[in-house]
Chain A
Amino acid sequence: MTPTQQLQVENLIKVYERGEVLALNDVSMSVERGEFLILIGLSGSGKSTLLRCMNRLIEPTSGKVYFDGIDVTAAGSTQLRHVRRRIGMVFQQFNLVKRSSVLTNVLAGRLGYTSMGRSITGRFSKADIQRAKESLERVGLAEKMYVRADQLSGGQQQRVGIARAIMQEPEVMFADEPVSALDPATSNSILQYLEQMKEEDGVTVICALHFLSLARRYGTRILALNAGEIVFEGLPTEIDADKFKEIYGEDAEEVEIR
């Protein structure tokens, strides 16, 4: 592993026991530091599974994942937690605790660094609370701090999700279709926040997306999956009509989203 490589995946295979689905079929790839890597592919092509296998939210069936030289697949529970708290993650369904306040949700991103006593009593350190306020300001939601999460709109909830990830001060951001539940304008702003993290903090971003227009705009590199295999790897500009059909199938037609 060269020093510029942030993540390396070797021969990753994932078979879902229940549905006898081969979700990932011998996937190997590496991610450089400071990249904005976009994963594209049809629903069920293995984008989410690949992301979740990399921080072992899903246990891979076989294969290796290295994060910054650490073998994630062989890590014990403590080491795994330490790897996980260096990786921020945002989700398609935002995954906020709907009944808790925005501030509590954001502070939950800091749990990996919080001691037992502080988290049981709910007394986060002043520094953490300050950090939470700053990250909420960064996503423009400082005035919603004490509002319950389910009072917010979809776009606002995803921004809270980003603020929660910022709390981890991550080196890598995983985004699992972060804008699929949002309208096009909001989608753009969410991706702008991710790009901002990449530009300002040097965070490596790996983002699963459906819209090619957004992928072309924000991605520095694109990886296309089909039926659990990498079918394309290259620059966003390299995807032309033929490549598109190769990735999405013959019947697909590219839809422009602005």
Chain B
Amino acid sequence: MTRPALVRFIAAVLRPLVAISRFAGRKILGPTVRLIAAVFHFLAKRILAPPARLVLGIFRFVGRRILAPIVRRIGALFGLLAKGGHAVWNRLRPPVRRRWRFMLGTPSARFPKQHIAALLLDWGIWGYMSYCIFFLIRYLHVTFIAISRYDVLKFPGYGWLSAIIGSLAVAILWETLGTSIGQKANGLVLVRTDDSPASTSDRIRRVPLDIVNWVATLAATVLSLVPFAALATLSLNVKAGVGVSFVPGISMWPTMDGSAGTLQILASYAASIIVGYFVIAASMRWLRVLWGKNPDGDLWSERHCGTRLVLVNELDTGAIRPKKWFQTSSGLMVFVLIGITLCVGWLLVEVNLQDLITRAHLMQRLVSQLLHPDFSTFNVIDPILQDSIASAMIETIFMALFATLLGFVIAFPISFLGARNLMGKGPIGWLVYTVTRAFFNVFRSVEVLIWALIFAVWVSFGPFAGVIALAIHTIAALGKLYSEQVESIDPGPVEAMTAAGARRWQIIIYGIIPQVIPSFMAFTMYRWDINVRMSTVIGLVGGGGIGRLLFHYKNELEWEKVGAVVMVIVAVVWTMDYVSGRVRERIS
């Protein structure tokens, strides 16, 4: 076989194979694949693609229209917060200048002290006001509304709490306005930031614009609902608020058995919110005052309202015409306080003009007896009392003299310890000063009669107990007067002697005592005068002296002898008064 034959043979074999596979490829595989491709194409284009597009569209929409803005907004919020935080931090961080001023102890740094004092005073004033108002409501209710079936006005169990906190709240509100008595008394005044006086609208604008108020309102609404409303709701017998229970006939008002009506519960809610709000507002204000972060006053309201609180002596107020008392709220408040005190006082002490007139004849008899004094025991010893009026009176005078001298001798040296200018600025000096002044104040505030009671038990009845009682009170009273006198001396000689190298006690002897001696003498004379008057009644509680006779005769209803004793006392006291007055005149 030749090679071309082999090739031809192979070709002859392969040719039909090629033809077959070409046929298969062209006519069978090709259309099938095309069909499948067409099917897939159809599927993809007509069935898969639209939902995918839809989903994509949704995703795109969500991403673009919903997510993106939110993210942007969150981002912006963070940015804002960061910015705001920075601003707040700038507010809180004391500026360098301020810190420097604070370190030096500026008047502004002393500001919180005045602010607290003002708040305490205002709180006290409004506490007094609320007591008076509650008293009047209750009193008038009992008097005029008792005819209704609701016999007494009941206050809720937390009434005292609302009174305390409510009065604080009103005090704070008053201080926000910047016109309170406390602020006036402590020299605080509200001015615009350019130091011109604040107008009424400036003051009113402070109230709602104070950010603290807003935060407090929000927090209080949430917080106050819980305890107070629960209390009001659970115990239906507790009547709400300030009790408006004397309007009968409306079902919404409390029912006959005393349980609360719907309105009352609502009122209780409202009252609770108000109380809670003020609790929080008050505590926040307090914290801020105590921290003293911004001693120049309320920075928020300063920014928003253009006003601030300053100490009046830091201002030039000479050109501003002072208002009349009835043009200021503090002046009006004083007026109201006086008025309400008169009303409450009148009702409280049960002023009864009828008795004053109808019972006058009893008084007439007494006076006529007193005016016919019986001097039979003047210098004759009364057998029961073992004493006569004259000797008891002499005893009394000597009691007064002895107690005054004793008081003088002891108070004189101690008083120097109670003088601020002598005790220096050190901690030991401060301690000695404080202890001495506290001793004076405590022992002075307890009345002589009470001291006499104590010592009558201790050393038994008699003039000795009276003398100790008088002496103790004299020491305390004179000590305080002396100390104040030492504090008000002319410091010039002290300075001169210090400069000359004198010791402290030399300065006291040569620089201070000569200055204070005349007023010390005058005070002592005045005290003697008081002691004579006091010693006449000290016998009432067992302190000896003429008071014992007075008390005895009064108990025995021997009014003629009482008259005699009283006349002797009047004569002696009058003489002493005159003598000590003349002596004091000569000294000063």
Q: Which residues of A contact B505 (CB under 8 A)?
A: 116
Check B514–A97 contact: CB distance below 8 A.
Answer: yes
Query: Which chain B residues in 500-559 approach chain A with CB under 8 Å?
Result: 500-503, 505-507, 509-511, 514-515, 517-518
Q: Find A99's partner among B101, B106, B492, B515 (CB 8 Å cutoff).
A: B515
Check A108–B492 contact: CB distance below 8 A.
Answer: no
CA distance A98 to B490 in the complex (A): 9
Does A127 sit at the interface, judged by CB under 8 A? no
Does A55 sit at the interface, judged by CB under 8 A? yes
Q: Which residues of A contact B1 (CB under 8 A)?
A: none
Query: Which chain A residues in 69-122 approach chain B with CB under 8 Å?
Result: 81-89, 91, 93-100, 104, 108-114, 116, 119-120
Given contacts A94-B492, A99-B515, contact A108 B510 (CB under 8 A): yes
Check B105–A20 contact: CB distance below 8 A.
Answer: yes
Most buried by B among A57, A83, A95: A95
Does A221 sit at the interface, judged by CB under 8 A? no
A-B contact count (CB 8 A): 94
Q: Which residues of B contact A94 (CB under 8 A)?
A: 492
Q: Which residues of B contact A15 (CB under 8 A)?
A: 104
Does B30 sit at the interface, judged by CB under 8 A? no
Nearest to B102 among chain A residues (CB) is A20
Nearest to B498 among chain A residues (CB) is A57
Check B493–A96 contact: CB distance below 8 A.
Answer: yes
Does A168 sit at the interface, judged by CB under 8 A? yes
Check A99–B518 contact: CB distance below 8 A.
Answer: yes
Tell me, rounded to whole Å, the shortest Cβ–Cβ distance linking A168 to chain B: 6
Nearest to A161 among chain B residues (CB) is B496
Q: Which residues of B contact A240 (CB under 8 A)?
A: none
Check B506–A111 contact: CB distance below 8 A.
Answer: yes
Does B497 sit at the interface, judged by CB under 8 A? yes
Nearest to A94 among chain B residues (CB) is B492
Does B499 sit at the interface, judged by CB under 8 A? yes
CA distance A210 to B105 in the complex (A): 31
Does A159 sit at the interface, judged by CB under 8 A? no
Q: Which residues of A contact B151 (CB under 8 A)?
A: none
CA distance A147 to B259 in the complex (A): 88
Tell me, rounded to whole Å, the shortest Cβ–Cβ distance linking A113 to chain B: 8
Q: Find A108's partner among B490, B500, B517 (CB 8 Å cutoff).
A: B500
CA distance A96 to B107 in the complex (A): 33
Query: Which chain B residues in 479-500 approach chain A with CB under 8 Å?
Result: 490, 492-493, 495-500
Given contacts A15-B104, A84-B501, contact A104 B510 (CB under 8 A): yes
CA distance A111 to B499 in the complex (A): 11
Does A64 sit at the interface, judged by CB under 8 A? no
Does A18 sit at the interface, judged by CB under 8 A? yes
Tell me, rounded to whole Å, the shortest Cβ–Cβ distance linking B501 to chain A: 3
Check B499–A84 contact: CB distance below 8 A.
Answer: yes
CA distance A95 to B281 in the complex (A): 54
Q: Which residues of B contact A131 (CB under 8 A)?
A: none
Given contacts A95-B492, A168-B500, contact A17 B515 (CB under 8 A): no
Given contacts A20-B101, A97-B515, A99-B515, contact A108 B497 (CB under 8 A): yes
Query: Which chain B residues in 68-107 approach chain A with CB under 8 Å?
Result: 101, 104-107
Q: Which residues of A contact B498 (CB under 8 A)?
A: 57, 84
Tell me, rounded to whole Å, the shortest Cβ–Cβ distance linking A6 to chain B: 17
Check B499–A55 contact: CB distance below 8 A.
Answer: yes
What number of B residues sit within 8 Å (CB to CB) of A?
27
Nearest to A81 among chain B residues (CB) is B501
User: How would residues 14 to 48 of chain A score, 1 for a CB under 8 Å from any chain B CB and 0 otherwise?
Assistant: 01011110000000000000000000000000000
Check A89–B500 contact: CB distance below 8 A.
Answer: yes
Check B501–A97 contact: CB distance below 8 A.
Answer: no
Nearest to A82 among chain B residues (CB) is B501
Tell me, rounded to whole Å, the shortest Cβ–Cβ distance linking B109 to chain A: 9
Check A81–B503 contact: CB distance below 8 A.
Answer: yes
Check A108–B502 contact: CB distance below 8 A.
Answer: yes
Check B499–A87 contact: CB distance below 8 A.
Answer: yes
Tell me, rounded to whole Å, the shortest Cβ–Cβ distance linking A79 to chain B: 11
Q: Find A111's partner among B106, B490, B501, B515 (CB 8 Å cutoff).
A: B501
Check B500–A57 contact: CB distance below 8 A.
Answer: no
Given contacts A17-B104, A94-B492, A120-B509, contact A89 B514 (CB under 8 A): no
Q: Find B510's partner among A98, A119, A174 (CB 8 Å cutoff).
A: A119
CA distance A107 to B107 in the complex (A): 42
CA distance A87 to B517 in the complex (A): 30
Tell me, rounded to whole Å, the shortest Cβ–Cβ distance linking A213 to chain B: 27
Tell me, rounded to whole Å, the shortest Cβ–Cβ distance linking A111 to chain B: 4
CA distance A109 to B507 in the complex (A): 11
Q: Which residues of B contact A116 (CB under 8 A)?
A: 503, 505
Does A164 sit at the interface, judged by CB under 8 A? yes
CA distance A101 to B507 in the complex (A): 16
CA distance A171 to B558 in the complex (A): 81
CA distance A168 to B500 in the complex (A): 7
Query: Which chain B residues in 453-489 approach chain A with CB under 8 Å?
Result: none
Check B499–A119 contact: CB distance below 8 A.
Answer: no
Most buried by B among A15, A86, A111, A174: A111
Q: Which residues of B contact A17 (CB under 8 A)?
A: 104-105
Nearest to A107 among chain B residues (CB) is B510
User: How would residues 253 to 284 of chain B score, 1 for a CB under 8 Å from any chain A CB and 0 otherwise?
Assistant: 00000000000000000000000000000000
Binding site for A on B (CB under 8 A): 101, 104-107, 490, 492-493, 495-503, 505-507, 509-511, 514-515, 517-518
Give 10 pairs: A residue, B residue, CB < 8 Å, sorted on A. Answer: A17-B104, A18-B105, A57-B495, A81-B502, A88-B500, A93-B492, A109-B500, A111-B510, A161-B496, A164-B500
Binding site for B on A (CB under 8 A): 15, 17-20, 55, 57, 81-89, 91, 93-100, 104, 108-114, 116, 119-120, 161, 164-165, 167-168, 174
List 6 tightest A-B contacts by C-beta distance, closest first.
A112-B501, A85-B501, A95-B492, A111-B502, A84-B501, A95-B496
Knowing that A15-B104, A94-B492, A109-B500 are A-B contacts, what are 20 other residue pairs whose CB atoms are under 8 Å apart, sorted by A's residue number?
A17-B104, A20-B101, A88-B500, A89-B499, A91-B495, A95-B493, A95-B496, A97-B493, A97-B511, A98-B515, A99-B514, A99-B518, A100-B514, A104-B510, A110-B500, A112-B500, A113-B501, A116-B505, A165-B500, A174-B499
